[in-house]
Structure formats: C-alpha cells, structure tokens
Amino acid sequence: MNLQEIIDINLLQKIQDSYAESTGLAAITVDFKGNPIAEYSNFSGFCNCLRQDPQLIENCFKCDAYGGLEAARRGTFYVYKCHAGLVDLSVPIIVKGQWIGSMQVGQARISDEEKDKLDFIVKESSGWQENKEIVDEYNKIPISSLKKIEAAAEMMFYVINHMFEQNVINLAQEELQAKNQQLIQQMKVQADLEKALLDKQIRALQLVVNPHFLFNALNAVTCLSIVENAPRTQDVIVSLADIMKYILTNYNRLVSLKEELSFIDDYLKLQKLRFKDRIQVFFNIDEEIKSIELPSLILQSIIDNAIVHGIEPKDGNGIITIKGYPMGHDSIIEVTDNGVGITKEKIADILADGENMIEQTGQMKGISLRNVNSILISHYGNDYRLSISQNVNGGTTVKLKIPNKYDREI
C-alpha cells in the first residue's frame, strides 16, 4: 500500500497548500521512506538558506526522518525542535494500522520560554548564527505559540488520516465492485458454456438415438437377406451394422488402434461399393503399436476426409496409404493420399484453434480435421497437434502422434 495509489496527488497538494496558508506553517507530505510525493508549501527563506550548506541540509533530512519515525512509533503527531531551533511537527498517516507516510509541518518560531519545553531531535547545529543573511531570514519568521502549533497538528492529524481512511474504503468498494462484475461475467461465461454443453449433449443424443433405430432395422434386413439368399447384401448389411455398433459402443471413449482399424475395414467395405476399384487402400502398421489407445473415430475421420476431399474430386484412380510406427514414447500414424491436394491457406485454417464440435464432413456426420486437431490438443496437449502437409507429387499427408501410454478417457 502506498500513498500514490490511495489519494489524488493534485487534491493532496491543494489541501497541503491551503493548510500552510491558513496556519502560516510550512508543509510537505512524504512516503514512509521520506520521499516527497507533493511540492513544498510555504517553505521559509530561512530553511532555503540553511539547505544551501551540505552539512546543514543533511541535518535537515535527519530531523524529518527521525521526526516521522517517532510519530509513527507513537501513533499520533509529534512536536519537536529541529537542529536550527525551529519548531517542527510530524503528522503520521496511518491506514488500517499501517504507517504509510507523514505530513511534515513546521518551520515555526516560538518564545524562548516555550522552546525550553521541547527537545532537539538531533544535535543543535552551530555556525549559521554568524551568517547575517541567514539570521535576517530567521528573524522574518513570525513568533507563534506552542499551543497554536499543537492545535494545528492535531487538526491535520484527524483530517489527513480520515481522508486517507475514506479513500481506502472507496478503493476497497471499487475493487469489490470490479470483482463482482468479474464474477458476474464469469458466471455468464459459465452459463454460456453449460448451455453449449447441453446443446452438444442433445446433438450427441440425437446421433446415438438414430443409430439405435438403424441398428435394430439392419438386424431385421440381415435376416431378410438370408431368407432371400442374397449373400453380398448380407455382407454389406453386417458391415453397416458393425459400424453402427462400434459408434454406439465407443462414442466419446478411447479404443485400441486394432479396434479402430477393424472399424475402418468395415467402413472401407461400404466405400468400395460406391467407388469400386477406383480407390485402393494400403495398410503398413507395426504390430507393436496396435495396442495403443486413441480417441474413437479419429483415424477413420482422417481417412474419410482423404476420400471425400482428396480422391473423389480427382480424375482417375486414387491411392491411400496408412502407415504406423513407434517413435520413442509415442506412435506415429500417417495417412497419405494422391488426391487433389490442399492449399496452405486451408491447412492454416484447419490447424487454427477452434471449437471442438461435430460438423458435417463427407457423407456422414463425423469429426472434421479441425475437430480432430482440437481433440488431440485438449486430450494430449499442444505437442500432439495434427500435422498436415502437401506432397511433392500431389496429394496430402496427415500425420498424428499418439502417446504409447495414456489412460484418461476423452
């Protein structure tokens, strides 16, 4: 806590100037280190002359410092004689029991009789009495009474401390209001997040309810294909049923790479019905990484993007290669296609931070590459961002990194 943070310095200067003008005393406000935070008010010519001497000015600073410390120790104003015999007083500024500075007031003369009632705060200086100019300035200072000086000190003690206490209360109220506003904003953000989460849960529930219906219907159609002796149709329906079962069972969960590859095999069977021999898919996965766990549908979504956005717009046949291998504590999976490729601007857009939400991608509602990247970051951290690059001979390579050991569900 410091003076500058509590009070308007311009206002303090006006109060100090008015006080000095009304009492005829000099005044200056300092922080707890003795550093002035305002300009001197009504500074006497005598003290200005004294402070031209290096030794005397040092004694002036000592008087101010010791006077401030003694007033802080007493917890009230302190009246004393400076080294030159003038009467000074220190008014401590105490806020919540903490001494944060003081107003140094004085440069006053009193009668010799009253002066004997006060002690020098430091050793009395000598020598200046031989300087006529300084003595003339000393004699210009009007003689006041000790009672008047003490009354002025008491008045300033109550005024200045009340003012600072009130300012601290106002600052505390402003801080409380700011915190309340911040809390209200946080509550609003939380409410918006909860609403967004509820919307996602509703959408997710819709995705789950519809597959349940389709799965039951597919079982009935499979039985019909057996009765009607249509083995090819039966295989397709079984693959589609396995796909729906996989989605229902593993939604929002971790699965082994082996399970994801089995799901992808069923998915590719359905794609080959449409594209026939136009698409060839090759797998080169090290056996040792097939046990790693990754978020379900992640790899399938990358392959789906390669087919829909890479191979489908391309003239002629397309090739997709899925390669997997260990690298230290992680496993790397690369999906490479020879499709139409991707622009650098599109790559930057995909890899930009975005909301992890279900989007339309390809022929089915699934997870876009942007969402795949968001899931990987939120699940594993920034070191596991998706990597997308343009191939030299055309096409795109999407690379993802998965830690070999990870046991938290998405």
Instruction: Report d(CA 39, CA 14) in Å as an integer.
Output: 10
Q: Which CATH code fits 253-403?
A: 3.30.565.10
Strand partners, 294: 255
Which pLDDT does position 225 carry in this prediction?
67
Q: What is the full per-residue pLDDT of the chain (410 aa) written as tens digits?
A: 666 666 677 887 888 888 888 888 888 888 777 778 888 888 889 998 988 888 898 888 888 888 888 888 888 888 999 999 999 988 888 777 778 788 888 888 988 888 888 888 889 998 888 899 989 999 999 888 888 888 887 877 877 777 766 665 665 676 777 777 888 888 888 777 777 766 665 565 445 445 555 555 566 666 666 766 777 777 777 777 788 788 878 877 899 999 999 999 988 888 887 888 899 999 999 999 999 999 888 899 999 999 999 999 998 899 999 999 999 999 999 999 999 999 999 998 888 864 443 344 444 444 688 888 888 887 888 899 999 999 998 999 999 999 998 655 44
Q: Which pTM was predicted?
A: 0.47
Residue of 342, 350, 273, 336 lying closest to 309 (CA atoms)? 342
Instruction: Report d(CA 385, CA 400) in Å as an integer.
Output: 7
Q: ∠ CA(284), CA(289), CA(290), 5° rounding?
A: 80
Instruction: Report d(CA 328, CA 72) in Å as an integer.
Output: 65
CATH 3.30.450 fits domain 3-179: yes
Residue of 250, 400, 263 lying closest to 333 (CA atoms)? 400
Both tokens of 112, joined, read 């010799």
397 phi and psi angles, rounded to 5 deg: -120, 125
Residue of 307, 312, 296, 302 lying closest to 335 (CA atoms)? 302
DSSP sequence for 219-275: HHHHHHHHHTT-HHHHHHHHHHHHHHHHHHHHTTSEEEHHHHHHHHHHHHHHHHHHH
Instruction: Report d(CA 293, CA 407) in Å as an integer.
Output: 8
Domain edges within the chain: 3-179, 253-403
